[in-house]
Amino acid sequence: MATPAAAEWREARAKHFVIYANTGEDDIRRMATRLEQLDGAMRRMHAVAEQPGQTSNPITVYTVASANEVQSLCGKCPNIAGFYQPRASGSIAFTPRRGSSEGSIDPQIVLFHEYAHHFLLGNASTAYPAWYSEGYAEFVSTATFDKEALRVGVAAMHRAYSLLRTDMNIETLFDSARRKLSVEQRAAVYARGWLLTHYLMFSKERENQLGTYLRQLNEGVPSLKAGEAAFGGLKALDKDLDRYLNSSRITNVILPYTMLPVPPIAVRTLSEGEQAMIGLRMRSERGVNRETGRDVYDRALRTVGPYGDDPVVQGWLAEMAYDAGEDAAAEAAADRALAKDPKSVQALTYKAMVLMRRAGNSRDAAQWAEARRWIVKANRLDPDAAEPLSLYYRSYRMAGAKPTDAAVQGLYRAFELVPQDQGLRFMVAAQAIELGDIKGARATLRPLAFDPHAPADNPAAQLLALLDSDKVQEALARIRGNAEQAAPGGEAH
């Protein structure tokens, strides 16, 4: 991806977000402020307190020119307007400044939808069914910023067609994860899910019923059965929902800005080297395999020459070289970054990852001790950064050694900090099984089993079925394989 010659990319760093955009200072500051206000609104609405350490694991938002550019970054993703990837190394989102065509979904709606998922997964251990997961994200996505207040729960006009034209009964909505749906029906899950979520948020007659339903669901009760019990019959709920759709007014939450945080936001213009590399950085952050990683790295080599003293650029280059399998070059770039900025957690992390991959399956304690020494350095600089904590645990698994108590506690802490990361969930579930905590393993896997974006052969659902059948060792073997896919050296990062 070529960066326009006149580009002036900026970074806005706030409490929960880091935003990169090719725009002016006022604009990027406004974007960061709105995201922080949205986060504050959700915390206030749901009485969710700040968790210690969350500021060490912000979500990075890349704002590109158009939806077409988002689709190019995503790969084989036609018709999308933005996407989000949860990761211990740093969750990321890509969003456009404008839609792909007239009438396309507002990019802000897409970004807020994705952040709602991030918030929901990051602040609760509950498993959510597809209709609520998508319905809640849609509920948040339409937030508007008036002169003096933020409004949440504004009508989802972009779902009007599905609501009015696609017939989806309540049984299909509640059982959608187990059914093969058409494109129109999948859109209806978002639309009807928004309607049901909105209704339950404001209905005094059905107060607390959603909580009862979710509790039963998380105790293992099937969705349809839990819905019948919690809502006093699904057919009656469906009729109430139709009446709600046809009502003349819609309620929303109004939060004056005086009730929301006033976040400190630091804005800077990227260095000359960062400006030159930002397009490749986005490709790298999106995730690569060995082939696409080689292409990114080769392009980086043609660009990076004048910027050997830029620690951020060299840290980015270390990651690109690592993904291309060029470990010596990755280590050299990490060393150059650390020579200029000894506190670069990213450079320390990639230095450690090179040493871990070099050690391979070696039982040489000295090699592994050296790799861990660099992980510990990164951890001491930022004890709440999730990636060094998870790497420390992985280093024992890769070495074929039993993780120490400190490594296990580090894994659990990483999971507390970034529960959105699927690889961490699999590792935590496997560790729970090894300790005989089958109930804990089930609770850890259940949110993945309900993931509306999971493949048809949802591995978490299969693992839960094995645990329910007392096939614990088979489940453990499979779960280790799923966790290993997220380990250093895998195809995606």
pLDDT in tens, 390-401: 999 999 999 999
Taking residues 83-112, report their average pLDDT. 83
Query: Scanning the structure block, which residue is given the tokens 């991806």?
Result: 1
Q: Write out the H or E segment, with its range, that includes residue 84.
A: strand 83-85
Are 1-129+136-143+260-270 and 273-484 the same fold in CATH? no
* Per-residue pLDDT tens over the stretch 166-210: 889 999 999 987 778 888 999 999 999 999 999 999 999 999 999
DSSP string, 263-304: ---EEEEPPHHHHHHHHHHHHHHH---HHHHHHHHHHHHHH-
- Residue 460: alpha-carbon gap to chain centroid: 17
| pLDDT for res 484 | 59
| pLDDT for res 7 | 60
| pLDDT for res 204 | 94
Answer yes or no: are the C-beta atoms of 38 and 261 closer than 8 Å: no
Residue 79 has pLDDT above 60, yes or no: yes
Question: Which range has the worst mean pLDDT, 187-196, 289-298, 386-395, 440-449?
Answer: 440-449
* Per-residue pLDDT tens over the stretch 335-369: 999 999 999 999 999 999 999 999 986 788 999 99
Helix then strand count (H, E) for the chain reads 22, 9
| Domain spans in the chain, listed from the N-terminal domain onward | 1-129+136-143+260-270, 155-251, 273-484
Give the CA distances from residue 273 to residues 100, 262, 279, 302, 349, in Å, rounded to whole numbers and listed in that order.
Answer: 30, 32, 11, 12, 21
DSSP label at residue 153: S
Parallel/antiparallel/unpaired status of strands 10-13 and 266-269: antiparallel
Residue 334 has pLDDT above 50, yes or no: yes
Give the CA distances from residue 403 to residues 111, 221, 349, 387, in Å, rounded to whole numbers and listed in that order.
Answer: 38, 35, 19, 16
Residue 165 has pLDDT above 60, yes or no: yes
Instruction: Determine whether domain 1-129+136-143+260-270 maps to CATH 3.40.30.
Output: yes
| pLDDT for res 486 | 45
Crossing angle for the helix pair 365-381 and 386-398, nearest 10 degrees? 170
**Residue 47 is encoded by which pair of tokens?**
């009485």
The three-state secondary structure class of 260 is coil
Residue 141 has pLDDT above 70, yes or no: yes
| pLDDT for res 450 | 81
- Residue 322: alpha-carbon gap to chain centroid: 23
Mean pLDDT score of the chain: 91
pTM of the model: 0.91
Q: Which of 135, 63, 243, 417 is nearest to 425 (CA)?
A: 417
Q: Report the CATH number of the 273-484 domain.
A: 1.25.40.10
pLDDT band, very low/low/confident/very high, at 117 (cuts 50, 70, 90): very high
CB atoms within 10 A of CB 138: 24
pLDDT band, very low/low/confident/very high, at 101 (cuts 50, 70, 90): low
Question: Which range has the worst mean pLDDT, 19-23, 72-76, 329-333, 423-427?
Answer: 72-76
Side chain identity, residue 31? M
| pLDDT for res 356 | 97
Answer yes or no: are the C-beta atoms of 158 and 187 closer than 8 Å: no
Q: How far apart are CA 133 and CA 435, in angstroms?
A: 31
| pLDDT for res 483 | 64
Residue 114 has pLDDT above 80, yes or no: yes
* Per-residue pLDDT tens over the stretch 248-275: 889 999 999 999 988 899 999 999 999 9
> Which residues, including other chains, have CB under 8 Å from residue 463's CB and lie 6 or more apart?
429, 445, 475, 478, 479, 482
pLDDT band, very low/low/confident/very high, at 5 (cuts 50, 70, 90): very low
